[in-house]
């Protein structure tokens, strides 16, 4: 089993926006370490194509998400500059079967590393917190995968949109932050910050520990998407999404 070969295959599907069969079926002995290695190999390709590494995303940090995809542990992925949307229009071009999910994004201003990291240390290294939308788009058929598949596919990362309004960590009890998502004017999802491992700060703690296991860390200036607060919503061309982060602002998205 050559990880470069598997990485190339996934990379081609990420670029062509054509769905693929699960790698775990063809490579049943693949490990979680292999899957993160594949993720890293493909990230290197993007950096060589002059994209920029801007941060990390945590995924499957809420029970709702874990249950909806049948994977019962958090995962991380890598965020690129090219994934960041600059306006509220999501083009279907380059996407297979995108889903939208509301998240809280942390902007870090210190290096964070190690296995003994505390919530306090994460708060002290947090420049600010911003409402965000993540657009995930699994490259696998029917959005169906196991832990190894989804990690190798960069945790389904596709696009993200971050609100221009930033809040200080102490401005709110983040576990109580409420989110209401409407699809074409109908409420389809509701949740609050506590859905993310009890408090989104714990998602950053977990990320630092998981990165440590691979000899990695969070660098100052990086963004962390802490994971979906609700289940993700399948969207199609012509849909409009309105997400209210209660007391923090609204984020709109039109699918074109
Ligand atoms: C995996 C990515 C999950 C989140 O916030 O939970 C994720 C997937 O569901 O495709 O980004
Ligand atoms: Mg997400």
Ligand closest to the CA atom of residue 69: 1
Interface predicted TM-score (ipTM) of this complex, two decimals: 0.99
* Atom 7 in ligand 1: residue holding the nearest Cα: 59
Residue 64's pLDDT band (cuts 50, 70, 90): confident
Å from CA of 139 to ligand 2 middle? 15
User: Would you state the pLDDT for residue 248?
Assistant: 96
* Atom 8 in ligand 1: residue holding the nearest Cα: 156
Å from CA of 135 to ligand 1 middle? 9
State whether the beta carbon of 65 lies less than 6 angstroms from ligand 1. Answer: yes
Mean pLDDT of 6-22: 98
Q: What is the pLDDT of residues 178-206, one digit of tens each?
A: 999 999 999 999 999 999 999 999 999 99
Mean pLDDT of 240-252: 97
Contact call for residues 228 and 203 (beta carbons, < 8 A): no
Instruction: For residue 2, give every residue at least 6 positions away whose Cβ sits within 8 Å of its Cβ, in sequence order, or none.
Output: none
> What is the number of alpha carbons within 13 Å of residue 85 lying toward its C-beta?
23
Å from CA of 80 to ligand 2 middle? 14
Residue 1 has pLDDT above 90, yes or no: no
Average pLDDT of the chain? 97
User: Would you state the pLDDT for residue 26?
Assistant: 95
- The burial of 59, by beta-carbon neighbours within 10 Å (0-12 exposed, 13-18 middle, 19 or more buried), is given as buried
Alpha helices, DSSP H only, in 59-198? Answer: 63-69, 119-124, 147-152
Residue 139's pLDDT band (cuts 50, 70, 90): very high
Å from CA of 256 to ligand 1 middle? 22
State whether the beta carbon of 153 lies less than 6 angstroms from ligand 1. Answer: no
Residue 150's pLDDT band (cuts 50, 70, 90): very high
User: Would you state the pLDDT for residue 229?
Assistant: 97
Å from CA of 229 to ligand 2 middle? 9
State whether the beta carbon of 205 lies less than 6 angstroms from ligand 1. Answer: no
State whether the beta carbon of 226 lies less than 6 angstroms from ligand 1. Answer: no
Structural domains of the chain, ranges and CATH numbers in brackets:
3-255 (3.90.850.10)
Residue 68 has pLDDT above 90, yes or no: no
Contact call for residues 230 and 179 (beta carbons, < 8 A): yes
State whether the beta carbon of 152 lies less than 6 angstroms from ligand 1. Answer: no
User: Would you state the pLDDT for residue 79?
Assistant: 98
User: Would you state the pLDDT for residue 91?
Assistant: 98
Instruction: For residue 153, give every residue at least 6 positions away whose Cβ sits within 8 Å of its Cβ, in sequence order, or none.
Output: 10, 14, 39, 138, 139, 140, 145
Q: What is the pLDDT of residues 93-115, one digit of tens each?
A: 999 999 999 999 999 999 999 99
User: Would you state the pLDDT for residue 244?
Assistant: 98
Residue 117 has pLDDT above 90, yes or no: yes
- Bridge partners, 99 (sequence order): 136, 234
Read off the pTM. 0.97
């Amino acid at each position: 089993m050559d990880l470069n070969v598997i990485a190339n295959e996934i990379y081609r599907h990420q670029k062509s926006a054509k769905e693929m069969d699960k790698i775990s079926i063809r490579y049943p002995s693949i490990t979680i370490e292999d899957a993160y290695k594949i993720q890293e190999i493909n990230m290197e390709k993007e950096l060589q194509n002059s994209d920029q590494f801007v941060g990390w995303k945590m995924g499957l940090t809420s029970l709702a998400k874990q249950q909806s995809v049948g994977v019962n542990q958090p995962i991380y992925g890598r965020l690129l500059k090219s994934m960041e949307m600059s306006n509220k229009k999501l083009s279907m071009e380059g996407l297979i079967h995108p889903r939208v999910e509301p998240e809280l994004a942390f902007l870090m201003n210190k290096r964070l590393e190690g296995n003994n990291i505390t919530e306090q240390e994460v708060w002290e290294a947090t420049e600010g917190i911003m409402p965000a939308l993540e657009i995930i788009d699994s490259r696998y058929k029917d959005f169906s995968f196991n832990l190894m598949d989804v990690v190798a596919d960069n945790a389904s990362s596709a696009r993200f949109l971050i609100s221009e309004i930033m809040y200080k960590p102490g401005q709110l009890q983040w576990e109580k932050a409420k989110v209401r998502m409407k699809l074409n004017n109908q409420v389809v999802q509701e949740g609050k910050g506590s859905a993310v491992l009890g408090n989104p700060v714990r998602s950053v703690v977990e990320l630092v520990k998981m990165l440590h296991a691979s000899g990695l860390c969070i660098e100052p200036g990086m963004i962390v998407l802490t994971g979906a607060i609700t289940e993700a919503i399948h969207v199609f061309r012509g849909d409009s999404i309105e997400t209210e982060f209660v007391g923090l602002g609204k984020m709109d998205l039109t699918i074109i």
